[in-house]
Chains A and B, each alone.
Chain A
Amino acid sequence: MSGLPALFYKEMLRFWKVAVQTVVAPVVTALLYLLIFSHVLEAHVEVYPGVSYTSFLVPGLVMMSMLQNAFSNSSSSLIQSKMQGNIVFVLLPPLSYLEFFLAYLGAAVIRGLVVGLGVWVVTLWFAPWQMPHWGWLLAYALLACAIMGAIGIVAGIWAEKYDQLAAFQNFLILPLTFLSGVFYSIHSLPPFWQGISHANPVFYLIDGFRYAFVGQSDTDPWLGLLVASACFVAISALTLALLKSGYKLRH
């Protein structure tokens, strides 16, 4: 039998054992964003006609939380295992690089979805319930978590120290997620920055995910799906190539 289920289970158990830090904390953070921004902007900003600012913000916050936590799960698990040295426990058994990839990716996706669901549930008190388009919602949620889970694997393998991973997170992941239309529509930006935003794949994830909730978006959700799928394929191919080569894992 394959060792994949055991590695997936281990990764799930790892974040579940510290759920206060890995699930509850990000939900609370998202809630704070919601309270502050919706309080300040609710009366002044209407991004899409007929959509309150809070209703606009919620999908963005849910998506941002999913992105950051999916990334965090695989990257922090790997860097911790590497620093501790217990990465040998998964390198010694007969696990293939594909099984390795799927286990870490699967757990990252689940963590992202659990946090996303948590954020959504607590924000229901603040935004009126609207039936989302489940198909778009699931497609974007899964793709977003998978893309970030895979990037997290790359970052976790690449980083040799915690501060390198922190740099990756602070200078790449955080700006990409913040500057992607979580809090605003990119149509409110000057043309130059609009152009830049279109080059940010995270923008499409948030835009498409928001479409699933409010039925309006800056770009066609099918285009976003295409961009996200292409991103996932590219980043997965890179991750698998790194794992196959043994980069920084098998010397």
Chain B
Amino acid sequence: MSQASPAIRVSDLRKHFGTTQALDGVSLDIQPGEFFGLLGPNGAGKTTLISILAGLTRADAGHAAIMGHDVVRDYRQARRALGVVPQELVYDPFFNVRETLRIQSGYFGLRHNDGWIDEIMHHLDLAPHADKNTQSLSGGMKRRLLVAQALVHKPPVIVLDEPTAGVDVDLRRSLWEFISRLNREGHTILLTTHYLEEAEALCGRIAMLKSGRVVACDTTRNLLQLTNEHCAQLRLQGETLPAAWQTRLQHDADGSWRINFSEYADLETLLADLRGAGIRVLEMQLQEPDLEDVFTDIMKRT
């Protein structure tokens, strides 16, 4: 592993299933320590990409490497460096929580891993359930166990494939606190999620996939600036709008007015015109664009 290796490098990755082109030339570099989001609608290729990184799927063409280790040629090193939390809520009903984690450690060649296992169980609130059969765990607990299993070998790179799908608010929050902590401690995180507000809050950089292609890849801050559509909602005293504005303002059902604008100067002009026409502004709310707007916008445009 050289110092310059990205945590994850994917170059011109292609994969088809039957007639579906799941990945159509995807290239990405994710640097050590990044919290990286992978977004895209269902079927965009997110899980295929993750499966190739994990060695569960073999690419038709292109390369993927974890910490500089090719996932095919150098799979042992690559898999040692990678922890994957799969999307499906899977568990082995033959074993209890501690056995599951001990066995998983063993697969990575770690014999005496109980100290670390206790620590992960503690952080994920699994300790009280250590001797419970995995079958008797709630959905949330099974999810935590999957996270714990992905961490038994202290991988520098952690991939989470929609870890919060169908998970209650409490668990979602505690999970993100834990993952953020791992990220602060230096772990690289690759996350796919459908909750865009999560991605916006957590990820430093985001790539958007559509039909197997990267259609956007930038820092979250830059992506948010891609859309400069702001929206203001106003409650006004007075019925007749100045003629110039009648078509630009939309009347909402609750009696308020809505305007979309890209330059704040527009808003200033509007307010001046309203004052000139003797209309008082009773209330005004501004809405900043969020990742969802950007996402919708990019998906529509590409």
Residues of chain A touching chain B, judged by Cβ–Cβ distance below 8 Å, are: 1-3, 5-7, 9-10, 13-14, 17-18, 81, 84-86, 88-96, 246, 250-251
Chain A residues near B55: list those with CB within 8 A.
91-92, 250
Select from chain A the residue with minimum beta-carbon distance to B152: A93
Q: Which residues of A contact B57 (CB under 8 A)?
A: 250-251
Stretch at the interface among B79-87, B248-256, B290-298: B79-87
Chain B interfacial positions (CB closer than 8 Å to A): 17, 51, 54-58, 75-77, 79-80, 82, 84, 86, 88, 90-95, 99, 103-111, 149, 153
Which of A18, A90, A93 has the most chain B CB atoms closer than 10 A to its own CB? Answer: A93
Closest A residue by C-beta to B77 = A94
Q: Which residue of A lies closest to B84 (CB)?
A: A92
Given A5-B106, A93-B79, A93-B107, A81:B92 Cβ within 8 A: yes
User: Please, could you name 13 A-B residue pairs with CB atoms under 8 Å apart, sorted by A?
Assistant: A7-B107, A10-B95, A10-B106, A17-B94, A85-B86, A85-B88, A88-B86, A91-B54, A92-B56, A92-B79, A93-B107, A94-B107, A251-B58
Q: Which 8 A-B pairs have the closest CB atoms?
A: A6-B106, A93-B107, A1-B109, A85-B90, A94-B76, A3-B107, A94-B79, A86-B92
The answer for the CA separation of A106 and B245 in the assembled complex, in Å, is 80
CB distance from A217 to the nearest CB of B (A): 40
The residue among B55, B80, B82, B106 with the most chain A CB atoms within 10 A of its own CB is: B106
Kindly provide the distance from the CB of B249 to the nearest chain A CB, expressed in whole angstroms: 53
Contact B56 A251 (CB under 8 A): yes
Besides A84-B91, A89-B103, 19 new A-B residue pairs in contact (Cβ under 8 A), listed by A number = A1-B110, A3-B106, A3-B107, A10-B95, A10-B103, A13-B95, A18-B94, A84-B93, A85-B88, A88-B84, A88-B86, A89-B90, A92-B54, A94-B79, A94-B80, A94-B107, A96-B76, A251-B17, A251-B58
The distance from the CB of A68 to the nearest CB of chain B, in whole angstroms, is 21
Chain A: which residue is nearest B94 at the CB level? A14
Across the interface, which residues of A come within 8 angstroms of B82, CB to CB?
92
Which residues of A are found within 8 Å of B84, using beta-carbon distances? 88, 92
Q: Which residue of B lies closest to A7 (CB)?
A: B107
Contacts of B56 in A (CB 8 A): 88, 91-92, 250-251
A115 to B91 Cα, complex, angstroms: 28
Specify the chain A residue showing the minimal Cβ separation from B110. A1
Closest to B103 in A: A10
Given the interface pairs A13-B99, A250-B57, the reply to whether A89 lies near B104 with Cβ below 8 Å is: yes
- Chain B residues closer than 8 Å to A7, beta-carbon distance: 106-107
Q: Which residues from A are CB-within-8-Å of B109?
A: 1-3, 6, 94
Nearest Cβ distance between residue B28 and chain A, in whole angstroms?
Answer: 20
The contact of B92 among A1, A2, A89, A92, by CB within 8 Å, is: A89
Instruction: State in angstroms the CA–CA spacing of A60 and B56 once bound together.
Output: 42
B17 surroundings in chain A (CB, below 8 A)? 251
Contact assessment for B90 and A86 in the assembled complex, using a CB-CB cutoff below 8 Å: yes
Q: Which residue of A18, A86, A96, A250 contacts B91 across the interface (Cβ within 8 Å)?
A: A86
Contacts of A10 in B (CB 8 A): 95, 103, 106
Question: Which residues of chain B are near A14, meaning CB under 8 Å?
Answer: 94
Q: Which residue of A lies closest to B134 (CB)?
A: A86
The smallest beta-carbon distance between A88 and chain B, in angstroms, is: 5
Beta-carbon nearest neighbor of A245 in chain B: B58
Question: In the complex the two chains form, what is the Cα distance from A17 to B78 in whole Å?
Answer: 33
Closest Cβ–Cβ distance, residue B72 to chain A (whole Å):
10
The answer to whether B58 and A246 have CB atoms under 8 Å apart is yes
Q: How far is the CB of A250 from chain B (nearest CB, A)?
A: 6
- Are A93's CB and B92's CB within 8 A? no
CA distance A89 to B75 in the complex (A): 15
A89 touches B94 (CB 8 A): no
For B51, the chain A residues whose CB sits under 8 A away are: 251
A162 to B: closest C-beta gap in Å: 15
CB distance from B212 to the nearest CB of A (A): 15
Chain B residue nearest in CB terms to A90 = B107
CB distance from B88 to the nearest CB of A (A): 5
Please, which residue of chain A has its CB at the minimum distance from the CB of B90? Answer: A85
On whether the beta carbons of A13 and B106 are closer than 8 Å, the reply is no
Distance to closest chain A CB from B136 (angstroms): 15
Task: With a 10 A CB-CB cut-off, give which of B56, B94, B105, B149 has the most chain A CB atoms.
Answer: B94
B contact residues around A81 at 8 Å (CB): 92
State which of A84, A96, A250 has its C-beta within 8 Å of the C-beta of B90: A84
| Least CB distance, B220 to chain A, in whole angstroms | 29
Q: Are A89 and B149 in contact (CB under 8 A)?
A: yes
Which chain B positions have C-beta within 8 A of A88? 56, 84, 86, 90
Bound-complex Cα distance A92 to B149 (A) = 11
Measured in the bound complex, the distance between the Cα atoms of B111 and A6 in whole Å is: 9
Bound-complex Cα distance A83 to B82 (A): 24
Min CB distance, A97 to chain B, in Å?
A: 11
CB of B150 to closest CB in A, whole Å: 8
